[in-house]
Amino acid sequence: MPEKSDYDLENSLGMLLDWTSQFMRLELNRKFAAAGLEATSEQWKILIILWFEDGLTQQQLAEKTFKSKVSLVKLVDGLERRGLVRRTPDPSDRRSNRIFLTPKGTSIQEQLIGLAKTNLAQATRGVDPQELTQCIKVLKRVLVNMKGSDSEQNE
Amino acid sequence: MPEKSDYDLENSLGMLLDWTSQFMRLELNRKFAAAGLEATSEQWKILIILWFEDGLTQQQLAEKTFKSKVSLVKLVDGLERRGLVRRTPDPSDRRSNRIFLTPKGTSIQEQLIGLAKTNLAQATRGVDPQELTQCIKVLKRVLVNMKGSDSEQNE
DNA sequence: AGTATACAGTTAATTAGTTAACTATTAGGC
DNA sequence: GCCTAATAGTTAACTAATTAACTGTATACT
């Protein structure tokens, strides 16, 4: 029979990761909406990658964002519906779509990035920079530990 | 015009929080399913609270899990459909439902807790305990920072 | 007492994630 | 060259989150 004192829910890593990621994502969505930008935080993750390297396939975007190819379908649907990207069939491999930023998609990048930075600054307010670096190091290790269990998914 | 070198996506706190929480949640769901337990990680968060204190209202569960009252509706629907909890109208306040564990809900607690512990151990494998504590301290600060922006939601 | 306000829960529409099953195209082995 | 494998994308059914609008009940004020 497990002891109740064994579980410190408020301080559990799993709970804290869920809560912090959710609050940050929600607040970023609110900042985007408040600025009149019709993009969500998840769509932003795609847009920022395309800003670095335009014309990637859905599969490549999936790999870079750790999302499944299935998730990319709806995400690109949404981005296309809002006129931020366009799907272009790859002439050399007709299975693939290449995703390109539209002028509208390019034009909102600066605002999106500014708001994302504001959000990050708000999240880390009062946190010692060295402790933050340490925390990020731990999270990267957690990511490596869990990615192993995820092999052979999303393929 | 923003500089691309300004953004270190792989090491951004927001990205890492999303990725780690998602991988941990996914893997916990897989562990539950592999053990033949028909509960999800989000349902588990409700069950563990009820194990500590049974008969809470949906509103109380929402507050303890940082979920909205709307989220609780479907979550409790799912738990009830699987026979793990039952809704009981509160006789002293007919607006409220009190949520009670069923014998079936109680019976799987030990297994769920064991698997959650295994999942946490896997996530933190090779992480210095002191660094983990430090990381959790940072995450709790981030939570406080972001919770402020969330005031007046979910009420 | 009676009205207005607050509160608990629900429903509907939207976004985003999962797994499983499917289509179409490319690449490899014989 | 041909048939099998793998790959890219899609669809369908499900879980879970959001906001907005609504029902019914309790509380508070005058």
Rounded distance between C-alpha atoms, residue B18 and residue A123, angstroms: 14
C-alpha to C-alpha distances, A29 to A35, A115, B48, B55, B145, nearest whole angstrom: 10, 10, 30, 34, 16
Rounded distance between C-alpha atoms, residue B67 and residue A46, angstroms: 27
pLDDT band of residue B6 (cuts 50, 70, 90) is low
Q: A154 lies in a domain?
A: no
Q: Minimal Cα–Cα distance from A64 to chain B, Å? A: 9
Residue pair A44/A28 in contact (Cβ under 8 Å)? The answer is yes
Q: How many helices (H) and strands (E) does chain A have?
A: 7, 3
In whole angstroms, C6 C1' to B58 CA is: 17
pLDDT band of residue A154 (cuts 50, 70, 90) is very low
Q: A96 lies in a domain?
A: yes
pLDDT, tens digit, 9 for 90 and up, residues B65-98: 999 999 999 999 999 999 999 999 999 999 999 9
Q: A152 lies in a domain?
A: no
- Provide the CATH number for the domain around residue A58: 1.10.10.10
Chain B residues whose beta carbon lies within 8 Å of the beta carbon of residue A40: none
pLDDT band of residue B148 (cuts 50, 70, 90) is confident
**Count of the separate structural domains present in chain B:** 1
Q: B36 lies in a domain?
A: yes
Exposure string for B90-114, b = 16+ CB within 10 A, e = fewer: eeeeeebbbbebeeebbebbeebbe
- 8 Å CB contact of B28 and A14: yes
| E strands, chain A, in order | 56-57, 85-89, 97-101
Q: B1 lies in a domain?
A: no
pLDDT, tens digit, 9 for 90 and up, residues A65-84: 999 999 999 999 999 999 99
pLDDT, tens digit, 9 for 90 and up, residues A112-136: 999 999 999 999 999 999 999 999 9
Q: B28 lies in a domain?
A: yes
Q: A151 lies in a domain?
A: no
pLDDT, tens digit, 9 for 90 and up, residues B34-55: 999 989 999 999 999 999 999 9
Q: How high is the pLDDT of residue B9?
A: 64
Q: A136 lies in a domain?
A: yes
Range of the domain at B65: 13-148
In whole angstroms, C15 C1' to A78 CA is: 9
Substitution target from A6, A12, A21 for chain B, most B beta carbons within 10 A: A21
